[in-house]
Structure formats: C-alpha cells, structure tokens
Structure 1
Amino acid sequence: MGHSYIQVPERDGFSCIGSEVHGIVSLFKVPAPQRLTLQISTTGIYSCSGITTCAGYPGSYGYELIDAQTFTEWGIDYLKYDNCNPPPENVLLENSLGKFQRMADAISAGESQVWLWGASMAQSWRITTDITTSWSSITSIINTASFVTSSSGFYGHNDLDMSRGNGELTYDERKSHFTAWALFKSPLLIGTDLTSISNDDLGILLNQELIAINQDPNVSMSISPFSWGVNPDWSFNASYPAQFYSGPTSNGTVVMLLNTMAQQEAMCFTLTDSPWLKPDIKYIVRDLWSHTNNCTAVGSLSVSVPSHGVSALFFKEAGNSSINTGYPACAIAQNCGVIASGDVDWRHSTSPRPWMVGVLVALLLGALDFL
C-alpha cells in the first residue's frame, strides 16, 4: 500500500521510566516490543526528552543513553522524540541533558526554526503545532510549509504531522490534505483508526501516484509555490496560503492547484510561471486523482477546482508545440489576467516571479563574496 512503518504512539505503546533497570517499562497495550519488531519489518516508537511525555507518561529524562540502547536492542527503526515537560532550567544546566537538547528541539513543533538545522540531528522534524481534523489546521500547516520548502531533501524532511482521517474534513479537504503532504515530501504516517476507515479515506491514503512522487528515489525536492493566487506573493496567511505550486520529479513536473476559497474556482496559470515548465513545449497532462491522461497543454491552463479542493497534475513533455500527441487540448485561457474571484492576477504583469526573486538574491549574495 506504500506504507511500511508501524509507529507506536505514546498512549498505545511504550514509555520510558527511570526506576527500571533498563530505563523502559512496557504499557502492554501492544505486543512486547521484541516480538513486534520480529513481526513488522520496520517499527517506530515514541519517546520524550522530558520527565513525563505530553500525555503524562514517564519520559526519558536522565535515561537518554540507556533508552536509546534499549530501542536499538529491540530493533526499533524509527524514533519520534518529543520535547514536553523538561525539568527546570537550573536542573538542565547541572546535568547531561544538554547533550540531547538539540535532538529534543527537533520535534518541538517548529518553535526553534528547526528546518534550518534539523538535518544535522534527524531525518525529519516537525514545523508546526499538532494537526487537528479541521480545514483551518490544514491551511495553517500548508502555509508554514510553503515558506520552508528548501529545507527538504534526501537526508531530511519537513514533517507536516500525521495524515488524518475520520474527522471533520470534507472529502475534497481530505484529498487536499493528502496531496499537499505527499508533494511537500512530508513523511506519510497515517494517524487514524484503520478498523473504521471509510473506503473513500482508504482510497485517498492509497493513491499510488502521489506516494510514488513522495518517495521519488532520484528527486528529493518538495513542491514550492510559484504564485499565491488571491493574496499578494509572499503573504503569510494561515487561512489562505499560496494556491499554485510545482516541483520536479524523475519523469516530469508535478503541479498542485489548491482552492482555499469557499466556492468552486477556475484556476488559471501560465505554464512558464513555474520554473519547471518550458515555453513552446507541448505537455501531456495527467490527473493524479482520476489517473488519466486528460489533455495536452501549451502556454497556459485553466482548471476548475472545488471549494477547499485540489488539482494534482503531472506534466510530461511531448515535443514542441506543433506536434500532435493524439490527446485533446486542455481548457486554455489565453490571458490569465483575471482570475475567477475578480482579483487581478500579477502573473502577466512585469513584476518578477517569486522564484526569480530567490535566484536574483542568491546571485547577488554570490557576487558580494567576490568584492
């Protein structure tokens, strides 16, 4: 199904406690850890740097080394390390916890700008507070993720938190949620009751084409926004994050169109607004939710997206614009100057594109090094 880890959370698995010889006591809500790792090829576990965990169970404080050794002996492959309930600062300064503080900070919900240094300590790091099953939580996390995409790579990933189901989200919102998590290259951990999951939710979580892009063995880059849509570019808005994203893959370019509005929108963009799509090239456009090659696109593209919904499109080069691919032309808006909401779209102005600004700044900083 594309998911290979079983991650045991704090309330259902094991907790660390200093009074035991090995620093660990099992809560026995799941099989003994040694037996669990024999049954499952890749197993994850939760621990915490504090005296107690966020839910009040015993933490690893003071027993970090012995707990790490025990996890290794159990065959644990994935450690989620939290940072709740540390002792008072004067206690921290007097003992050895400082050796582990940066590791703890890596899961502190983005409070320490962990995306700037997390790769030196771990393979993934949380960038926001805990997710909830609400649209406002989804858009807030997407908004934060859109500003730190450059931190994601082969050796470390921005963790957008769990993939949620069985909650208040609509079907379209759940599709948007999973699409964004997959294309931002977040670790995909399902945080829902699989015994009561609906067929619709299961179908979302098992989208093999999105999972394949998330797990691309050759390209580690996350999608990044190339236009904010309804807001001015670079707007930090937790309710209305950027709407137009793209990124490279091994075989082409993936584009995500996110409709944050309360009504269906015709979302239009010029292909070359994305740094990954070329001028005068005809592209076969594949819908990653219908799993069909729907049309060809040259120049610009307009897609109808439901309220709080998403369009996930895969663009594959099909030669220059004069070549007949056999697919019908996509819905094209020759002038994406006005979007459905009536706001003027900057993308046909003379202003620099967001990705161009980043390139120009990098070139300027590089030039200053030689002065």
Structure 2
Amino acid sequence: MKKTVILVAFVAGLSFTAKAQYKVVTTRPPMGWMSWFPFIDKIDEKKIMEVADAMVKSGLRDAGYKLVQLDDGWMAANRDAQGRQYADTARFPHGMKFLADYVHARGLKIGIYSSNGMKTCAGYPGSYDHEETDAKTYAGWGIDYLKYDACGEKEKHTDRELHTRMSKALQATGRPIMFEICIFSSGETHLWGAEIADMWRTGGDIVKFIERTPEVTYKNWYTNLNQVVGKENYAGNGHWNDPDNLIVDYPRNNKQTYEEQKAQFSLWAVVSAPLILGNDVRSMSGATKAILMNKEIIAIDQDAATTPGARLLTDDKREIWVKRLKDGSKAIVLFNKQDTDATLTLNFKDIGAVEKVKIRDLWAHQDKGLFSRSYSAKVASHGVTMIKLKEVK
C-alpha cells in the first residue's frame, strides 16, 4: 500500500491572496455549458440558440448554469477589412451581437473563444497582435466570458505576456468579461493566474484529440483531478483552478458508469472547480439531470466561503477530500479507487472533528443522524459517497 498523504497546507488553513488588483467578475466558480465536446468546431447559430432554449426548458439555468460558451470554430476564416474577427456568415447569418442578445434575453450569459497566437487550435484567426481590437469587438457584441487558448505562432512571446495583454485589453473596455487562461501545457499558471484572470486551466485537456473519438473513462477526469492537488491555496475568492470541463454524459464513446460520473461531479464541487457542461443539453436523460441538477452538490461548489477543498488522504484503495463551508460544516468526499464495491470509513479524528457529528448524505438527500468517532458507507467501484458533516458540541 502506498504511503498516506496529508496536505499540510489544507490542515493549516492557509489561503492565497492575489498580488495584483485584477477586478474579478464573479465571486463563485462559473457554471455553464461549452460547445467543444458535443459539436467540436461544427457550431452554428441554430445549434447555439437551441442550446440556450434547452438550458432554460430543462431547468439548468435555474440550477445555476448561466453561461453558454462558443468554443473554437465560431470565426470566419479571415479577419475583415478593418482587421476584426467576425462570425462565419454562413453558419452565423445574423452575427454575434444578434446571438448574444438572444442568449441574454433568456437570462443567460454568452462566452466566446480565441487564442493568443496567430491561429487558434482549429486554425481560425487568433488574437495575436489584435488584443485591443478583439477585446473592444467582444465588448461591443455583449460578450460575458472569454476562454483564451495558447495555440498558434506568437513570435517567441511568452504565453504569460500575451495573456496579460488580453487581460488588460478586456479590463480597459469597461465591460465585465470573465477571463480564463487556457495554457494546457503549463503546470505553473496557478502561480500567477490570479493576477490577470478569473480562472485558469491546471493541466491538459480532459479528453484529448476528441475528433478521433477516443474511449472516455473515469481515468480521464481522475488524471485531471490530480493536476489540482497542491494548487488549492492559489484559488478562491474569485479566482479558480479549472481541471477542465465535466464529462458527465460525454456524447461519444463514453465508457463511464453512472457512479463514475457522479464521482466527477462530486469531486469537481469539492475543489470549487467551474462546473462547465460538455454534453448535448438538448437531449438529456433523467439520470443525467439527476447528477447535473443535484442542488446540494451544486451548493457545495458555490459555497459562500469560496474556499476550495483539498485531498486529505490517499492510498491504493481510497481518497478522502475535505472542504470547509461557510456555516462551519465540512463537505467530505470518500472516493473508492478499487475495481469493486467497498466499504469506506471516515475517522473523525483525521479531519480534526469532535467525537460526535451530524451527517447528511448529499446524494441520497437524507439526514443520516448522529455518529461518534467514525462513519462508514458502502461505495461503488470508482464511485463516491458525499456527505455534509456538522460537529455537535
């Protein structure tokens, strides 16, 4: 068995304060939907309008999912005569301002994508050397969020330098536009991300080369979850670690079990990750809705303390993740790493709790009662039990 790991920074209750005065747009992790997983770069006006309508009709908007983000592929192949990006006229005949107005009219926000190089990852015009022009263009359209990638030729300028350029350009517009740093090859963005952005990717794509239809398993999200470990003290209070999007109901070659998908949702919530959907929300099963609209789990992600949780313990069989909440309680995730169902036990002394606690099961939506010294639960293979624990004096 591997040696148990205790994260001293979490136990000590350390927190991080951004060095610069970046004006954050939201004090909670963003929630919404992204176009890349369901549609790759084959997006158009009709699909995005249908998604916006579906987010309202399904109840996703009212559950907190307010962002509709167009990822790579919305642009025309070239800039216009004034050097501006614009939406492909065949796929977006009414233009981006029309689409933004449509999304806003449904009580949602609209996001867009670009890259800091000359080309985006899919080969469309990037924002290199056009940062001010693009920022003003986005603001004029009514854009609320920019995911900023790191693809394309950039004449030896660093990603940090170019992302800083765009951050300043966005802030100069006067419009509050959430800014995400997407430098997926860097393991150090968290060290400076809060100086210029609301959120930053903590590692690689959760599903790589999606156009090749790879097999998607729980290992995809578990790999990305591990990229957050040790970075929790750099996030919080309007700045967020982003281990990439949710792959609950991933639309192609999804080999995850229902319990594995519940596990990702739980763990993303406990680390205060942005909850960005990657499924086709126009056609969701009741089981998918039960995961994505679990109000008690969403409340953990959106908790007013804005303090990301951390992994307290890990070995070959299990992990324990803990998040302190505004009301003084703790959210706990017990993750079963084994290939079979297993009974997992939380010893209260491991989380510094008094001997008697009150426990609520956040998936069963049940108060489990009072417990002394420990709590045990049977957990599915690669699944979780998620509880809210309140000390009783």
Taking structure 2 as the reference length, what is the TM-score of the superposition? 0.71
Identify which of 128, 133, 138 aligns with 1:66: 133
Q: In structure 2, do the counterparts of structure 1 residues 212 and 59 end up closer, same or farther at CA, with 3 Å as the change threshold?
A: same
Q: State how far apart, in whole Å, the 2-side matches of 1:183 and 1:303 are.
A: 18
Q: Aligned residue for 1:100?
A: 165
Cα deviation, 1:181-235, whole Å, max 9, x if unaligned, reads: 1111111111111123222112111111111121122x0111111211327xxxx
Instruction: Identify the residue that residue 291 of structure 2 maps to in structure 1.
Output: 204
Shift of 1:311: 0.8
Equivalence map 1:255-270=2 (5 Å): 255-270=332-347
RMSD over aligned CA atoms reads 2.4
Larger radius of gyration: 1
Distance 1:97 1:117 in 2: 13
- Residue of structure 1 equivalent to 2:324: 248
Distance 2:309 2:87 in 1: 40
- 8 Å Cα contact 1:51/1:58 also seen in 2: yes
Contact 1:47 1:59 in 2 (8 A): yes
- Secondary structure of residue in 2 paired with 1:286: strand
- From 222, 240, 247, the equivalent of 1:157 is 240
Q: Decide whether the 8 Å contact of 1:185 with 1:222 is kept in 2.
A: yes
Q: Is the 8 A contact 1:14 1:46 kept in 2?
A: no
TM-fit CA distance, 1:67: 0.2
Instruction: Show the 5 A alignment for 1:118-197.
Output: 118-132=193-207, 133-164=216-247, 165-166=249-250, 167-197=254-284
1:127 and 1:134 mapped to 2: Cα distance?
A: 20
- 1:305 maps to which residue? 379
Structure 1 residue 101, shift from structure 2 partner: 8.1
Deviates more, 1:15-24 or 1:300-309: 15-24
In the other structure, the counterpart of 1:287 is: 361
Question: Residue 66 of structure 2 aligns to which amino acid in structure 1?
Answer: S
Which residue among 109, 122, 128 is the counterpart of 2:184?
109
SS across alignment from 1:81: strand
For the Cα contact (< 8 Å) 2:116–2:154, is it kept in 1? Answer: no
Q: Is the 8 A contact 1:181 1:188 kept in 2?
A: yes
| CA–CA distance in structure 2, aligned partners of residues 157 and 146 of structure 1 | 13
Deviation at 1:97, TM superposition (A): 5.0
- Provide closer, same or farther for how the CA distance between residues 186 and 17 of structure 1 changes in structure 2, counting only shifts above 3 A: farther
Contact map agreement 1:175 1:204 (CA 8 A) in 2: yes
Unmatched runs of 5 consecutive residues or more in structure 2: 1-62, 169-178, 208-215
**Secondary structure class of the residue paired with 2:128:** coil
Q: Using the alignment, how far apart are the partners of 2:100 and 2:180 within structure 1? A: 27
Q: CA deviation at 1:98?
A: 8.3
* AA partner of residue 287 (structure 2): D
One-letter amino acid of the structure 1 residue matched with residue 333 of structure 2: M
| Paired residues of 2:113 and 2:146 also in contact (CA < 8 A) | yes
Secondary structure of 1:111's match? Answer: coil
Distance, in Å, in 2 between the alignment partners of 1:124 and 1:18 is 28
User: Is this contact kept in 2: 1:266–1:303, CA < 8 A?
Assistant: yes
**Structure 1: where are the runs of 5+ without partners?**
232-241, 321-371
* Matched length: 300
Higher relative contact order (CA 8 A, sep 6+): 2
Shift, 1:255, TM fit: 0.2
Secondary structure in structure 2 of the residue aligned to 1:26? coil
Structure 1 residues 15 and 144: alpha-carbon distance in aligned structure 2, compared to 1, 3 A threshold: farther
- SS of alignment partner, residue 296 of structure 2: helix
- How far, CA to CA, are the matches of 2:221 and 2:135 in structure 1? 33
Say whether residues 1:37 and 2:121 are aligned partners: no
Alignment correspondent of 1:82: 149
**Residue in 2 that maps onto 1:350:** none
Hey, what's the Cα distance between the residues in 1 that align with 2:283 and 2:180?
34
Cα offsets for 1:115-150 (capped at 9, x unmatched): 111000100000111112322111111112122111
Within 1, Cα distance between the matches of 2:185 and 2:375?
36
Q: Describe the superposition over 1:20-69 as per-residue Cα deviations: whole angstroms up to 9, x where unpaired.
A: 41511202535522122223242111111111111112211221110001
